[in-house]
Chains A and B, each alone.
Chain A
């Protein structure tokens, strides 16, 4: 591990371009996180075609930096605008905006920034130490275990991802269905191509994700029209004093641990981490009555939680090849266009890349602190960028970026179709993240199942009762049961009969 780390550090020092890319990606990420509707996923998706111009390590540094920057960036608009720039910052607005409204916007941004850096660095350190042993363990995995892992990923996002369980499952299954298009991996039979030769190689993953996230978002924003919101753009970030920082140390530590663990679970991302961190901070707080009124703990908890989840979600991506969140699912596209397959062999064959990503994410967190401190005022101005100009420009970036992948217009057509699919999914309230994770996990699940059955002499019970596979399948059942239980608990109680209401209804 130390050798690989020193080798990666040597690579970074010998390539000053890497540092420039990290700086650019953090700024890009904060900008995309800060503007409501753009989000980090769009920021990552738009940059994937550009990674072609760099080597794989630099490409991953670029995407990793965007992920780190955007997770913090969401808090800027949440605090100043009461409009979370990204879903994971939704919780931050609960206390950030009230604090900003009472004239302490700089302090609120400072707390968010410090907490983000603490959580982000904690998550990255855990990533550095947990990913290599997990990858070694994963080398023991056979097809049965990979199938079970894929099932866990699909059921986890369906059940813990919030909202309706059945809608999560439908979206995940739709993703699995789209992944079926193309040649069968075992027999070579063309499936669901409907005679279209372009579909024989399957749906272009990058074109699909850019369409689903970026294009669908622009369509939605244009259809919704412009909304006016109360914005506080005159700000200067003030980091909390040492005494204020120490006062939140328990919250920061607890939220960072929660965020890292939740981030590491396949399919559960920073948004869940932020909400659970917030609710735990409320539960353990000595002054819970301040929550919702501008509490420092109420800002520190979700921010350290969601940034810790960034490092956490990279653990299953790099160690197992399973995305820990929607953004890491998109990042798989960045790896695959360079011919790199994420998973345990990546740690063995491309240790320079993996350790460079660790170092890059660590640096990105430090840089986030520097840029967030100096440039909050500038990023607040980004919020004023007119969407009538920004929206069409994003469409242009989507089209040209996808075209540049293979110089192929059919990829652009695929992106357009998936832009429509993404818009429909949103209109029907189906979670896009479940769809995209289904799309990623589909081929892994299918090939592993069929190979596993061949190895187990077509005995599914023998395959499913292997120790690791059985444990993972049991966890899948538990996570589904947890989702069902959560839905039952959320269901509003039936209104008691109200005799006074009867005459009105009649």
Chain B
């Protein structure tokens, strides 16, 4: 039921956003030279079609909800679609948070430290008993990748700021 409501909310938001962006396209500056094929022509077609498709799908979803209120048994397809394993949202939040944290860490503490910490932390989200592999994989992979990028491919890596920049500069 929660999954169905999420879908309804998502497609309702997409319908509203499409309509709003259609008006945003309508407000684009007008060019006299290209009056009949102006900058708003294609965006209006795209957002118009998107709004219609989202509205149709939203109507289908709402009709489905009304026809099968909560408490009714779900079909096999619906069960499969709605199935979320235990701890799904926690793992998703942890992984998402860790990835965003890594993005900021790359900018401030540089590639080497940020990557080692990220790989160590990431290895603990899913169950994996080999602690030695968890501990050794992070530094080995980081060093190999740094060598490949800096010396093999001559591509630069984020170096961080301040003291971390100086450290990165000294290492690669």
Contact = CB atoms under 8 A, between A and B. Distances in A.
A170 B91 CA distance: 29
Interface in A391-430: 391-393, 395-397, 399-400, 403-404, 407, 409, 412-413, 416, 419-420, 424, 427-429
Contacts of B18: 177
B81 A429 contact: yes
A416 to B, nearest CB: 6
Contacts of A428: 7, 10-11
Nearest to B156: A407
A187 interface: yes
A229 interface: no
B115 A396 contact: yes
Nearest to A390: B137
B123 A392 contact: yes
A449 B42 contact: yes
Interface in B68-119: 81, 85-89, 91-92, 94-96, 98-100, 102-103, 106-107, 111, 115, 118-119
A458 B31 contact: no
A437 to B, nearest CB: 14
A374 to B, nearest CB: 25
B19 interface: no
Interface in A209-239: 215, 218-219, 222-226
A224 B88 contact: yes
| Chief secondary structure at chain B's binding surface | helix
A11 interface: no
Contacts of A215: 99
Interface in B31-85: 31, 33-34, 36-39, 41-43, 46-47, 49-50, 53-54, 56-57, 60, 81, 85
B50 A166 contact: no
A409 B126 contact: no
A222 B156 contact: no
A389 B123 contact: yes
A170 B53 contact: yes
B41 A450 contact: yes
B100 A416 contact: yes
A176 interface: yes
Interface string A168-181: 01100110110010
B96 A219 contact: yes
A50 B128 CA distance: 31
B45 to A, nearest CB: 8
Nearest to B72: A505
A52 interface: yes
B162 interface: no
A186 B37 contact: yes
A28 to B, nearest CB: 14
B50 A225 contact: no
B49 A173 contact: yes
A304 to B, nearest CB: 30
Contacts of B94: 222
A395 B41 contact: no
A49 B155 contact: yes
B56 A166 contact: yes
Nearest to A183: B39
Most buried by B among A392, A400, A409: A392
B39 A184 contact: yes
Nearest to B153: A53
Contacts of B100: 416
A388 B125 CA distance: 7
Nearest to B89: A223
A298 to B, nearest CB: 24
Contacts of A424: 10
Contacts of A247: none
B5 interface: no
A53 B154 contact: yes
A192 B149 contact: no
A394 to B, nearest CB: 10
Interface string B122-135: 11111110100110
A444 B25 CA distance: 19
Contacts of A169: 49, 53
A195 interface: no
B147 interface: no
Most buried by B among A49, A393, A397, A446: A393
Nearest to B46: A176
24 contacts: A53-B154, A169-B53, A170-B50, A186-B37, A187-B39, A189-B39, A191-B39, A191-B43, A225-B86, A225-B87, A226-B126, A389-B119, A393-B119, A396-B115, A400-B145, A404-B153, A404-B157, A409-B158, A413-B103, A416-B100, A428-B10, A449-B42, A454-B37, A458-B37
Given A166-B56, A387-B126, 6 more contacts: A187-B33, A388-B123, A392-B98, A396-B118, A400-B157, A449-B37
Q: When A and B form their complex, which 4 residue pairs have the shortest distance between CB atoms, in order from nearest?
A: A392-B122, A223-B92, A388-B128, A184-B39
